[in-house]
A and B are shown apart, each in its own frame.
Chain A
Amino acid sequence: MLAEETYKFRNYLQEQGIIFCYSGYMTEEVLSGIGNAIKRKLELEHTDRQTAKGVFSIFVEQVQNVIRYSAEREGGEVEDDPAEIRYGVLTVGRKDDQYFVACGNLINNHDVDRLKKSLKQIKELDKEGLRALYKETLKGETPEGSKGAGVGFIDIARRATNGFDYDFMDMDDDRSYFCLKAFV
């Protein structure tokens, strides 16, 4: 029974093309550990070096977003609480000859509009537009209104050679569920 359940779960993940799956509290140590395993797996598959770098970069930005911004957290009652940990779900896989990195976490409802707006803006930009926005954001010259177009999302968009999708789902009065999946 136990083996059957776990095996079914494993098969479900494999059907989705998922190579790595982590659901839980994310920390910098988790990032290091999974990151090294992803690197090693991509090397063993003889993945093109630049593709591997793209997958890895997107993985780092996604996990660091959860570590910093997920609205599902333990601790953190005081600001910059070093004991604070935040929850998210991460999958890395390959389907139809593309790698993907998907990540989901809860966010506060008051951040939804801002995030939707900046992701919509990023998704509509071409290569040159992304490059310009990336630089503006790095220099802190982001024009009013596109504030919060975190440099992390722009970086993901630039490295996602096959694009990215995102989605929001209403949860309750306070929180929504947010997911972003990038393809390389």
Chain B
Amino acid sequence: MENLKIEGTDRAPEVDFNFENNTFALRGESYPEDITAFYGSVLDKLDEHLSSQNGATIRFDFELIYFNSSTAKVLMGLFETLDEAAENGNEVLITWTFEADDDNMEEMGEEFSEDLEHAKFEMKSIEE
């Protein structure tokens, strides 16, 4: 699948999906005007790709500064998708980067990762 790179805007995150290397990242702010229009096709491509993988090493980096509640729903689904990929014989590492003083973002990372059964998860705090 062709790699996918979408530049971030004020309201939508940078999407950096390298299907060849199995490295994926979302960076920046996420409160897009139309949540389905933004995430729909991007995540469909990811789903399709992940379901074709077996024995692969997959890495997903979340480097989000702010997201709204509609995005939170999308992220919850994305964590489930990644855990499924790990269940299906892939090695999956998810990283969650947050600003050191951002308790809310830290808690969100903890909450999303609580239900992971197969994927590995790492939290990374950075100073602003």
Interface residues of A (CB under 8 A from B): 28, 32, 36, 49-50, 53-54, 56-57, 60-61, 64, 131, 134-135, 138-139, 150-152, 154-155, 158-159
Interface residues of B (CB under 8 A from A): 10-11, 31, 33-34, 66, 68-70, 72-73, 76, 99, 101-104, 107, 111, 114, 128
Tell whether, in the assembled complex, residue B66 and residue A56 are in contact, meaning their CB atoms are under 8 Å apart. Answer: yes
Known: A61-B68, A61-B69, A151-B73. Is A32-B11 also a contact (CB below 8 A)?
yes
Question: Chain A: interface secondary structure?
Answer: helix
- Of chain A, the residue at the smallest CB distance from B102 is A50
* A139 and B114 alpha carbons, distance in the complex (Å): 13
Complex A-B: 28 CB contacts under 8 Å: A28-B33, A32-B11, A36-B10, A49-B99, A49-B101, A49-B102, A49-B128, A50-B104, A53-B102, A54-B104, A56-B66, A60-B31, A64-B70, A131-B107, A134-B111, A135-B114, A138-B72, A138-B73, A139-B76, A150-B69, A151-B70, A151-B72, A152-B69, A154-B69, A155-B69, A155-B72, A158-B104, A159-B104
Q: Name A50's contact: one of B11, B34, B103 (CB within 8 Å).
A: B103
Instruction: Give the residues in chain B near A53, CB-CB below 8 Å.
Output: 66, 102, 104
* A154 and B73 alpha carbons, distance in the complex (Å): 13
Instruction: Give the residues in chain B near A159, CB-CB below 8 Å.
Output: 104
Tell whether, in the assembled complex, residue B68 and residue A50 are in contact, meaning their CB atoms are under 8 Å apart. Answer: no
Instruction: Give the residues in chain A near B103, CB-CB below 8 Å.
Output: 50
Tell whether, in the assembled complex, residue A131 and residue B76 are in contact, meaning their CB atoms are under 8 Å apart. Answer: no
Tell whether, in the assembled complex, residue A151 and residue B69 are in contact, meaning their CB atoms are under 8 Å apart. Answer: yes
Pairs of residues from A and B, 6 with the lowest C-beta to C-beta distance, nearest first: A28-B33, A155-B69, A138-B76, A151-B69, A152-B69, A60-B68
Instruction: Give the residues in chain B near A49, CB-CB below 8 Å.
Output: 99, 101-102, 128
Q: Name A57's contact: one of B66, B107, B128 (CB within 8 Å).
A: B66
* A54 and B66 alpha carbons, distance in the complex (Å): 10
Q: Name A64's contact: one of B66, B68, B114 (CB within 8 Å).
A: B68
* A128 and B28 alpha carbons, distance in the complex (Å): 27
Tell whether, in the assembled complex, residue B101 and residue A131 are in contact, meaning their CB atoms are under 8 Å apart. Answer: no
* A152 and B10 alpha carbons, distance in the complex (Å): 20
Instruction: Give the residues in chain B near A139, CB-CB below 8 Å.
Output: 76
Instruction: Give the residues in chain A near B111, CB-CB below 8 Å.
Output: 131, 134-135
* A36 and B11 alpha carbons, distance in the complex (Å): 10
* A162 and B11 alpha carbons, distance in the complex (Å): 27
A147 CB to closest chain B CB (Å) equals: 15
- Of chain B, the residue at the smallest CB distance from A54 is B104
Instruction: Give the residues in chain B near A57, CB-CB below 8 Å.
Output: 66, 68
* A15 and B34 alpha carbons, distance in the complex (Å): 37
Instruction: Give the residues in chain A near B107, CB-CB below 8 Å.
Output: 131
Instruction: Give the residues in chain A near B128, CB-CB below 8 Å.
Output: 49
